[in-house]
Structure formats: C-alpha cells, structure tokens
C-alpha cells in the first residue's frame, strides 16, 4: 500500500517539477512575498481536483474529445505570449520591478487560474497520464496512487512558493528581478511555441 502511495508521489513530482508557466509564476509570487498562500493553495487544490478527476475516469473523456485540448492549446499559447511580453517589459525596466505596485488578490488568483487551466499539458499530465497510471492499480488501490500524486503536488507547490518567500530578501535585488523576468519570458515563449507546434 505504501509502495503504491510512494509511486504516486514520485510520479506526481516527476511531472510537476519541470519548469513551466505555473511554476515560474509561483516562484515569482514567492519572491515578491505577495499572496503566496493563496497561490500555493490554489495550485495544489487545482492539481488535486484534476488528478482525482483522472483517477475517476475523466481522462478517457478528454481523450475522446481532442478538440477541447486544441482550443486550450491556442488559448494557452496566446496567454503565454502575452505573459512573456509582460515579463520582457519588466526585465527592460528595472525601476518597474522594484517599484511595482502590489497586485490585488483577485488579479493574482486570476493569473494563477489562467496559467493552470489554459495549459493543455496540465490535462495530459494530471487527468490523462496520472489518471491512467492510477487506474492500472484497480478499483481500491487507484485512490492510494492518486493520494500520493496529490501529496507530491502539495509538497512541491508549498516548497516552491514558501521557499522562494524565505529567500526573497536575497533575491530582491533589481538585477535578480531582471534575470528572473527575462528567464520567465523565455520559458513562457518556449512553452507557447511548444503548444502551437503540438
């Protein structure tokens, strides 16, 4: 039983640790020390819902209607390009970074939801892939695998968001912000190109 839970944990972590739009945003919010708890909870809960939906069998439904993923792909790519341009603009103007006004909780939550649910890879990773892997364990044990994957998500987002918050003092120099925003912009553009090319 614990080995199945551990497999779910490691599989979940393996899929989520890759640098992506969501992780870059969580890192940025942690360094800014801005609504970190809300971002971490929202990301972890979103992952949990998607993992449990996949375990319940929704992954088969998603595979049957690929046009939904296609719509998400184009919408996600457009959003990532916009986010990349915004990051590059911040990187070019360090005074904007250091003097940037705090964002409202609603704005941060909206961005978190967009970066989470406009990304078709999140559905492929959580709903389809983790759901399929969980269902290989049968009716009873699949939920143990899913619980491990959910635990991996909670651990990752908590460590990333609150870890960045702890290190925010050392990382709050304007030059660090420039480099971080430049890297985030590059990652967002690369992800947008990946989405468009399929």
* Segments making up each domain of the chain, as ranges: 2-197
Q: What is the pLDDT of residue 162?
A: 93
Contact at 8 Å (CB) between 8 and 148? yes
Q: What is the pLDDT of residue 59?
A: 60
For the chain, residues with pLDDT lower than 70 are 18-19, 59-63, 66, 68-69, 72, 76, 94-101, 171-172, 195, 198
Q: What is the pLDDT of residue 91?
A: 79
Q: What is the pLDDT of residue 97?
A: 42
Q: What is the pLDDT of residue 44?
A: 95
Q: How far is 51 from 168, CA to CA, in rounded Å?
A: 31
Q: How far is 117 from 123, CA to CA, in rounded Å?
A: 8
* Alpha helices (runs of H) in 65-137, residue ranges in sequence order: 66-92, 94-99, 105-117, 120-122, 131-135
Q: What is the pLDDT of residue 56?
A: 86
């Amino acid at each position: 039983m614990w080995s199945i839970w551990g497999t779910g944990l490691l599989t979940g972590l393996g899929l989520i640790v890759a640098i992506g739009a969501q992780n870059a945003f969580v890192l940025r919010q942690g360094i800014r020390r801005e609504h970190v708890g809300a971002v971490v909870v929202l990301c972890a809960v979103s992952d949990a819902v998607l993992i449990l939906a996949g375990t319940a069998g929704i992954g088969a439904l998603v595979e049957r209607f690929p046009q939904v993923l296609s719509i998400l792909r184009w919408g996600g790519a457009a959003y990532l390009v916009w986010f990349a341009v915004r990051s590059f603009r911040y990187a070019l103007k360090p005074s904007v970074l250091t003097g940037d006004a705090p964002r409202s909780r609603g704005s941060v939550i909206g961005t978190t939801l967009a970066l989470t649910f406009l990304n078709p890879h999140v559905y492929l990773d959580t709903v389809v892939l983790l759901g399929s892997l969980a269902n290989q364990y049968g009716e009873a044990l699949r939920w143990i695998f899913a619980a491990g994957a959910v635990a991996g998500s909670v651990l990752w987002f908590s460590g990333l968001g609150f870890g960045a918050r702890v290190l925010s003092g050392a990382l709050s120099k304007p030059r660090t912000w420039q480099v971080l925003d430049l890297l985030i912009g590059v990652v967002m553009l690369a992800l947008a190109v990946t989405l468009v090319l399929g």
